[in-house]
Every structure is written in structure tokens, then in C-alpha cells.
Structure 1
Amino acid sequence: MLRASIKGLALSALLISTSAWSWGMNGHRVVGELAQQHLTPATEKAVKALLSEDSLAEVSTWADEMRANPNTFWKKQSGKWHYINIKDPSKMAQHNKAIEHKHQVEHILDGINYAVTTLKNNKASKEDKQFALKFLVHLVGDAHQPFHAGRKEDRGGNLIKVTFFKEETNLHSVFDTKLIEHQSLSYRELSDFIITRDKQKIAHMLDSRPADWLLESNQIAEKIYDSNETDISWEYIYRYTPVVKSRLLHGGIRLAGLLNQIFDKNSRPLETALKAVK
């Protein structure tokens, strides 16, 4: 049972691989690719100045890859940037505060706020802005993975054992990777399949803030917890693959809108926040 006790499983958390930290590589790349297609020319120019030849899809996995770096920040501090535990959704506002320094970051919402503040700061160094942009691309993706706003006691589903077509795994990994890999598509193919040109849908996605994205993820995670399913196969895929695709699409659209608002002075929310895709 999905609600089974997790007492005694804390030590197993030490064995969880890096693949359980966030969307799998293709999930993050989809978010980056979708955003790249909606950047305005001014934003594209600003992004290129910081990333050179790298695309948003290419840098989207950087924040996970860097966790192998022996530097103290990456080993001891960066992990908490990727998630948030929401005990009381009605008090989400208390988590939303201005963050000006890396050491102030306590969770993913802080990380997003720090990155945005840094990118808007004309006095910030190019190195700091590169760090902020690469991390922001990753964090917006993470914010749309339901279990990055999951429960503290099971580490966002990492400690909940399930089977995926009889293969032992955990609930977090199912939504990070398994449901995406099961599509057997490259990140570009999956991006092409789920991208939308519907202006009304796009406007609805953009009419939100990072705190809202995390609340959405928390609500989805709670519904999945409540479904109490551990033996995952075709019916589960039928029900939840559309949820994963929707979250990836929301992440890509919102990342583009956020970057355009940061870098393009002519970009107006819900009006000219995104470049139309042909």
C-alpha cells in the first residue's frame, strides 16, 4: 500500500541515485526546448550572451550534474534548492520572500527568487548571472514535477516503493523518468508533440507566479498519494502520462514568459510575453 509506514527506510535514502532528484534528463530538456521556442528576439540575444552556444535544453540538466562537484556548495547546500515541503498550502505566501544571496536559499521558491533577482541586477557579475540562468532553467522544471512539492516524511515519494511493469522503483522516479521514457521519444520529439499555439491556454498558464506552480504540484502530488497505487502498468500510464505532459508544457511556457519578462523590456505579461511559434 502506498500509505504503508516508511519507518526504518531513512537509511535507504542514502542509496537513492541522482536520477531521483528531479525530472529525468529528457524531462528537463523538454522544458528548456519549449521555452527556447517562445523566447522573443531580445531575450534570445540576452540568453546567448550568457550561455554562448548552449541552448536552454542543454543547460537544463546542469544543476543536477554539478551535484557531483566536490565544492561545499554543491555537496552540502544545493540539494535544498530543488524542492519544498508545503505543510499548509494556505500559508504559502510566507515562503515567498526576496532573496539576494545564495546562502539565504532554503527551498526551491527561494532559489527561483534568487535567480530572478540576480538576472535583473545590473551590478551582478556575468558569472553570477550565468549561474542564476542555468539554475533557473532547472528550477522552473523542478517546480512543475509534482513530487518536488511532496511530503517531507517520504522525501517527495523517494521512499515509497512501487513497481513499474514489475520493475522495482519508487514513486518519485516514476514521475521523474519512467512515464517520460515510456514514450520512447527524444526530447525534441516530445516537445513537438506537446507544444501549443493556443493563445488562450498560454495566457492561462502565464497568469500565475512561481508560488502558484508549486501549489499546483503539491495538489497533484496529494491526489497521487491518495490514489494509493503501487503496482503500476498500462492503466496508470493512461491516467498520468497526460498529467506529466501538461506539467512539462506548463514549465516550458512559464519559463519562456519569465525569461522574456526579465530580459525584454517590451514583453508584457499575458500580452506579448511569448514569441508566437510558427
Structure 2
Amino acid sequence: MKTAVLALSASLFAQGAYSWGAMGHATVGYIAQNYLDGAGKIFTSHLLGGASLASVASWADSYRYTDAGKFSASLHYIDAHDEVPHKCSVKLDRDCGEEGCIVTAIANYTDRALNDNLTLSERTDAVKFIIHFLGDITQPLHTENLDVGGNEISVFWGNGTAKTNLHAAWDRSIPETLAGGSDDATAAKFAKGIIADLDTGIYKDLKEDWTSCGSIKRGTGCPKAWAQDANKLVCSDVLPDGPDAVEGKDLSGDYYTKAAPIARQQLAKGGYRLGLWLNKIAKAEQLKCRD
């Protein structure tokens, strides 16, 4: 049964379910770029050939459509087999498939980014995966198995004018409505406002807790904690009354009003964590070079 669900999940992802959409991922990239320290800037600029984090943030979504990248489809999520809305939880041995999942992928590509036995191109890809997956793991439905991460829950957007699904609503409809568009300029402006809240506003006193699990030496420890953090929102905010409460409903009214600040905060978490995570990788690279 689990194999069948995983196969269906991969199939639906191949049909175009992008976490956060390109605008959301670029937002995460812009936020993270702001928090790179000197070592982080040098490390990422070297491996990305001078490209910004935002410009490569959606690379992994495109790559998985290629013959070389199709193996990575299952790495964008983890299928929590929990009891929404009564109990949300992530258990690695239960929820991470044989092909791997986002929790193991973040740990793996963190190691690969520091592996001198790999080619420069392979290490570059590792960093690009990290940039993308630290965005993915904050989207609550990328940590949930129910109805294939919400892909099979049909909903409407815009006063019933557009049929979509719950996963896509969280990927694109909610953040893009909140930001006011879907292009790169919108992402840059949106990120600027979030950065202000991280520095001096509503997230200032929260961000330390978001990165309390910050050691790249813990393997799957931090990625699992981040997956659990996002997954609990499925019960509290995404589907607090279960799937029947949203099935066939328009979500652009009251549901959006409640969900929008959650989506914005999750993007803030993704960007801030990513910046600090890349700094830690860069520091480990510096220490390695001194040995």
C-alpha cells in the first residue's frame, strides 16, 4: 500500500505540484542571501558561479523532469502517515520511502556539498538541492501523506472561478495572493518585507527558536525537526477540521485570511534557516581547508 501511495505521489508531483511555486522559492532565496556571512557568500558564489540563491531556487523542480534528475522526485517531500486532524507527526522509519525523502536528502546533500571527492559540478548540484529543499520542507503539505499531500483535495480559488487542489493552493495561490504577484520582482519585494520583520518586526523574537536545531553534524536531526515543525501545521492550520471541511470549497476568503500569515511565516523560516545553514556549511569548508 505504501509503495502504491509513493508511486501516486511521485506521479502527481511530476504533473506539476511545485512547493511554493517559483515566486515562493525565489523569496526564500532572497531572504537567505541577506543572511549569508562572508564565508557563506564566498562559498555559495564559488559553487554557483556567481549566481544568486534566488536565481537557482527552483532548479530542482526543473531538474526532476530530466532523465538525469527523475530519481529526485521523491526527495521533495516526506509522506507522514499520521491522523489528520487529530494527530500530526513525522516518523522517519515510517514515512521516508526506500527512494529517500526530503529529510534524508537535506542530510545527504549537505554532506555532498563538502565532499572533495566529488566534482565541482556535483557539489554545485548539492548546494542547489539544499537551497530548494530548505524551502520545500517548510510547506506543510510537503510533509503529509493524506490525499497525496493534499493533491487529491479539490478546492476553488477566486470566488469559485478557478478549480485547483489544496496542495497547489498552498504552493502558489496563497503566497502569490499575499505577495501580489508571481514574478521575480514580486519575490524580491516580498522578501524585503519579510527580512524587515526578521530583523526588527514580528519575527525578531521567534527566529532564534527556528534555528535552534542548527548543527550540520546531526545528519537527519535538523531536517527531521523542520519537517515536524511544518507537519504540525497540517493539523492546526491547513486542515484543522479535516479534508471534508475544505473539499469543493472556495479558499480565497476566510480560509485565506487565516492561512496567509502562516504561509508567510513558513517562507520566513525557510529563508532564515537556509542562510544560516549555508553559513555553517561554509564554515565547515573553511575548517576542512585548514586541516
> Which interval holds the TM-score relative to the shorter structure?
0.7 to 0.9
Displacement after TM superposition at 1:243 (Å) = 0.4
Look up the match of 2:250. Answer: 231
Rounded to whole Å, the distance in 1 between the matches of 2:14 and 2:109 is 26
Hey, what's the Cα distance between the residues in 1 that align with 2:14 and 2:89? Answer: 33
2:267 maps to 248
Q: Is the alpha carbon distance of 1:205 and 1:108 closer, same or farther for their aligned partners in structure 2, counting shifts above 3 Å?
A: same
Query: What is the TM-score with the length of structure 2 in the denominator?
Result: 0.77
The 2-side partners of 1:51 and 1:19 are apart by 25
Structure 1 gaps of 5+ residues are 1-9, 98-103, 268-278
Q: 1:160 — aligned with what?
A: 153
Q: Aligned equivalents of 1:57 and 1:253: distance in 2?
A: 13
Aligned partner of 1:212 in structure 2 is 225
Match 1:175 to one of 170, 186, 198: 170
Q: Percent identity?
A: 31
The answer on whether the counterparts of 2:29 and 2:57 sit within 8 Å (CA) in structure 1 is yes
Match of 1:143 among 102, 124, 137: 137
- Distance across 2 between alignment mates of 1:261 and 1:11: 36
1:127 & 1:142 partners in 2: Cα distance?
A: 22
Name the CA shift for 1:193/1:91 in 2 (closer, same or farther; >3 Å).
closer
Give the Cα separation in 1 of the matches to 2:281 and 2:9. 41
> Does the CA-based 8 Å contact 2:13-2:73 persist in structure 1?
no
- Measure the CA separation in 2 of the matches of 1:12 and 1:251: 23
Q: CA deviation at 1:144?
A: 0.2
Q: Partner of 1:197 in structure 2?
A: 199
Deviation at 1:32, TM superposition (A): 0.7
CA drift of 1:258 comes to 0.7
Q: Give the equivalent residue in structure 2 for 1:117.
A: 111
Match of 1:92 in 2: 91
**What's the counterpart of residue 271 of structure 1?**
none
Determine if the alignment matches structure 1 residue 56 to structure 2 residue 53: yes
Structure 2 unaligned runs (5+)?
1-6, 83-87, 214-221, 287-291
Aligned to 1:226, the other structure's residue is in SS state coil
Equivalent-residue separation in structure 1 for 2:89 and 2:174 (angstroms): 30
- Residues 58 and 236 of structure 1: is their aligned pair in 2 closer, same or farther, counting only changes over 3 Å? same
SS of the residue 1:162 aligns to: strand
The corresponding residue for 1:274 is none
1:207 is aligned with what amino acid?
A: S
SS in 1 for 2:117: coil
Alignment correspondent of 2:282: 263
The equivalent of 1:24 in structure 2 is 21
Change in CA separation of 1:157 and 1:56 when aligned onto 2, cut-off 3 Å = same
> Secondary structure at 2:155's aligned position in 1?
strand
2:122 corresponding residue in structure 1: 128
Per-residue CA shift, 1:145-185, capped at 9, x if unaligned? 0000112x511000110111202100000000001221314
Q: What's the C-alpha RMSD, in Å, of the aligned pairs?
A: 2.7
Q: Which shows bigger deviation, 194-203 or 247-256?
A: 194-203
Q: Distance in 2 between matches of 1:234 and 1:90?
A: 28
**Distance change (3 Å), C-alpha of 1:205 and 1:168:** same
Q: Secondary structure at the match of 1:168?
A: strand
Quick check: 1:194–1:249 contact (8 Å CA) kept in 2?
yes
Counterpart-to-counterpart distance in 2, 1:27 and 1:249:
10
* Distance across 1 between alignment mates of 2:131 and 2:8: 31
